Amino acid sequence: MAYDGRGLKFGTVAELYDAYRPSPPPEAIEIFGQLTGRDVLEVGAGTGLWTRFLEGHGANVTVVEPDDAMREVLERKSPEVRSLVGTAEDLPVPDESFDVVVVSSAWHWFEQPQATREMARVLRDGAKLYVLWNGFSRDVVWINELTKLREEPGDGNARPRGWTADVSDDGLFSDRVDLAMDWTWMRTADQLFAVFGTYSGTLMKTEAQRRAMDLELRRRIEEVAQAGMVEVPMTLRGTVATRVTRLH
């Protein structure tokens, strides 16, 4: 994985990650259509927030997750799922074995073009790749200002931002479509505060930086809370592409 293993920091807060990060909204099924009986591979599955969604819609799910602590939570909560140790750049599954590959909030950690080529390898002809991010809506001023607190410019924690995936360079995918689905996440003020402790920018901060962020975060959340609750504007963003037919 890229960025000096920064993505593997999440294992240090695996239980909090599972408790406080957003699960996919119910309407996300509109993106996938029918999943019942389909062979789905989830890459970088974390603690299984999307795994449980895919399972709940009848998919036959296999997950690949490199972080032991994250995978332990997933396996405890989804014991029927086939769980594998591995990375996006070296998937431990056979060629042409899946109808769907799903990546949620992990694409930016992968080395390219190796990861894209691996996903093309394991997908059947005409199968779908879904690269998704489920997070705060960046076009809402107050939430955008809030998210800046976790990765201040110049603190050494910044990483490239983007909400789509370029998967067509090698001619392995076609019919690329970028998507965005807005939804609302109801949180208590405490829950919204807690989720910020699960982001890589926060995990990479010094103790002093973390204390300063927490004080400002609390202040800003209290300003927008109504009776202790916050309507958090969210957007499910990403890219869907189709595996092209192989020339056998």
The tens digit of pLDDT for each residue in 191-239 reads: 999 999 888 788 888 999 999 999 999 999 999 999 999 999 999 999 9
pTM of the model: 0.90
Per-residue CA distances from 183 to 33, 130, 241 (Å):
18, 19, 23
Structure token pair of residue 73? 């939570």
* Residue 3 banded pLDDT, cuts 50, 70, 90: very low
Q: Which fold has domain 3-139+156-186+234-243?
A: Rossmann fold (3.40.50)
* Residue 11 banded pLDDT, cuts 50, 70, 90: low
Structure token pair of residue 18? 């599972």
The whole-chain average pLDDT of the chain stands at: 91
Higher pLDDT, 1 or 230: 230
Per-domain residue ranges for the chain?
A: 3-139+156-186+234-243
Per-residue CA distances from 216 to 8, 156, 196, 207, 221 (Å):
27, 20, 12, 15, 9
Neighbouring CB atoms inside 10 A of 123's CB total 26
- Taking 90 as the threshold, does the pLDDT of residue 5 lie above it? no
The tens digit of pLDDT for each residue in 60-114 reads: 999 999 999 999 999 999 999 999 999 999 999 999 999 999 999 999 999 999 9
Neighbouring CB atoms inside 10 A of 188's CB total 14
- Taking 60 as the threshold, does the pLDDT of residue 6 lie above it? no
Residue by residue, DSSP assigns 23-79 as PPPGGGHHHH---TT-EEEEES-TTSHHHHHHHHTT-EEEEE---HHHHHHHHHH-T
